[in-house]
Structure 1
């Protein structure tokens, strides 16, 4: 009998190996560019790392970049699930790099989303949110409308919803989960439906709406049973049992939890093993089975400590305190209650969570308000242009040839007035476009300091941020400001950006002692676009030492020379990266507007300004960028 069974197993293994070789050969022969097509033949082997390594090796030999990117992404997921996060990050980054070479939106969005999931598991919320937002932007703007692109959008929605869960903003989390759910229904993904029904159920459970929570948990369970997902069934049954426990149905809860404990141990998922032990201890405490309860609570506590599961560690302490209190052992009850309180204090308290959410909400409101004002200003500019054309037309019709000379002079005056108003509108547009992404990331940095309970750093950062905003608001009302004020504003701006870049930038300012900076005028925020480009497009992507030097010298009696020098990756590589991200429009508009503002400013001087952007090389290798701006002073 044993021999027959062995032969059957051997036959099945050989059959599966033959099937994989057939599918692999077909994929390599066709060299699909569509990720949907690759997934159709390869996804069934995703749990077999040997086969995925074979796909990677063969794709490298065939120079099949889509296959290499797909394989690296699957391997990253495998190591993420094994909690080998650094290895997973390396593989997902490699997948993204490969996808960028062939400009494959499906693979770029997928690898960024998987990076976001890894960072979220590591509690690096800002990094996670950045990756999910980048993935969402690529997927939503992609001309492709494939199932893989749709799936990437659902993953981004789902992940952003989970970030709102950490802030205990359950309505906002539910909104994103429902967005994901509607897309999962569209592509008929039963696994996706199971995940999002469960997530929505959790938002109701957290708000104490238990009947609705049970409805959604049971919908999720039905889909998990349909696709025969053991892990999914464990998750749903544990969640349903949690609701029963909160409703006081301890025996019903216990009957659901018992089988999930065995299944969780078979799967090897420590998270759900700890959950099952703690929930079993809770139920048995309420049923007065104290010995059994103590055994399970201690086991749940041990697993939680070993695997850094802080929420379950806190839950175990709380139920151990209740258990000893039920046995009138108040000394032990007090001990565990103090441990529970200490563990709870490590998390961000409710008021701080609400404060951070209010900041995010205010940012969203201000962003929408700025967009409305932009539209109003653009409409005003169009009306000005139409008004000018109508006047020109009326002048030509109403006046005779004897008054043409007078009309030309009047028209030119009107045109100059219109251009001045137009330039004023552009400056207001530029101020309104003062990088909402910079403001959002600054607020997010403050939130992260508060999440870490680092109040001192949060207050210091907020102080710097408020000074910069106050300076921008005051200088934005002036057409021109002194060079001294401009340099102070840039110092504040670099300080804030450098904090976000982990203070890696060595920022130096060199000023000619013979210059009176207060007497030199310059359009406000002229230097900001060049410094921003140096920081985020030249230096942030560079490894090793990073320096930014701003120099002000007297070129002659007629000019002051301002130099902005960085040792970044250079414009050629930056343009390649930005092209892959489809993010070049904002930069080009910012530089173009700055050139126009400088041209308008220079009309009041005897000499015109000059602006040169120089690519620096060392041994034929890009070694940075230098911006040289000459401002007329007479």
Structure 2
């Protein structure tokens, strides 16, 4: 299979299963009316999310009215797990914390089991695997004492996934325990969860085992799919059925060749139908990826390409954009284009892949930052709880001291004096130690907050470097396109000259892209080389002038590569489209605003102007990223220099000629 579908496939299917459905009926006699209704509302989270949350909040209000802390904690646990499905991290943390805090204050082991399951789900969601295992083991122990076999089966399956790949022995151990609990429960959904966990363990062993192990796994997966189909109406988590189909289809590809194509495609078709109906992105991506890879390996490139294109069209018809899925599909289309030798199609697919891959990266980075913040807040809260416990312990010790003194008074004044003296010294020393620990914990919290500020500063620097690095491939792409055009037109000498200048300019840009700042003199030299390249490309059809105000020092430091995109726009969209009898002109003027510590760069041209340029670009499909990237860079700079930015306007046609005026406020860096 293509790399983007296989590398994380096992991990992804574990994520889908992991905590996808924790709570079902346990023992009817132990379930209150409030919990029962909250459970029914939770079951609607796939079919009607709004109704699901409404019912759960209604039961939460009733639990508060009845002053039932057990029901209140369980309702919060349900709401937390519902918010996990909706990917609402802030609400997920809030409800999980409320559930756990309430449960710990009470004595109900049932409420504590629900709360620990919700906290385990939260820790897994923010990639805190060790804490997730601890909470789930706590929930597993509590549910085991109640003989809640259906919930034990699901939680044991989740624990099995968390031990992959670090501990295969524990992965197998909890997968087998999940099967045992599921068998005792008689609940089809619990049985499916357990079988999927054990099936994943069997799939992991296929890399080191032979044909007999594959046959064993195939028999097990066929039985699993049969169980899911027979009890489909009793299984609330429809996604687990889709995962069973994908797992079985994937297993066909690992067996003897040729594979059973009919069965392979049938399972993928069923998985795709479930993914579309219940909006399960990972199942959709895995099913399309498996089928596309199969046809690619088979040599049926047209069918593979059509499959990925239909997948893209379906995604574009939805009200949201899954950038990860779009990037994966376009990357697979690139592989198909290479095998077909269609490099024109490869170029088109690569352009779209680059777009969605960048968006996917931004989403991934944002998600990682959110998870890191959540882990920090969780750690900070744990430190505060520990601090409060120390303070409570100190208060309790002082109470005991008072009781001791009262007891001593009953024995006698003399004995009381001696006992009070020594006890007072002991508890005073203990109090000093506890206060020292409290001060130490406060310093740790302050240090963690300082580290968070430093991390934020480092992140802003990284964003600036990332946006600046995006300018290099954008410029190189346009320059190579110009050279290719000259070669195709057999203009050999201009192409060689262009290539030499391009090599010199590329070296300058590569050197400057590694710097946080460059001097104004370096920036002007780079602009001169770039404009001369453009003059050569356009047969010297325009002139240029670069001037600096008398008070501008050319050794001042500014961010690199900010001005070139606007020169490019002036040439491409202003001068290039104008009539041949008009001699083009670009004027660049620098002056310094000493009060605001900014360098003001004014760029004017006598091109066709903004209005005419927009009319020409109406039917064009190409979208330039240069000014968008520059705008993002300047936006980030505004956090430190509020005046950073740029404006683009049209010359006054009454008092001036046609053309545009660009004014860029560039922060001067020390």
Normalized against structure 1, the TM-score is what?
A: 0.37
Q: Which has the higher contact order (CA 8 A, sep 6+)?
A: 2
Bigger Rg over Cα: 2
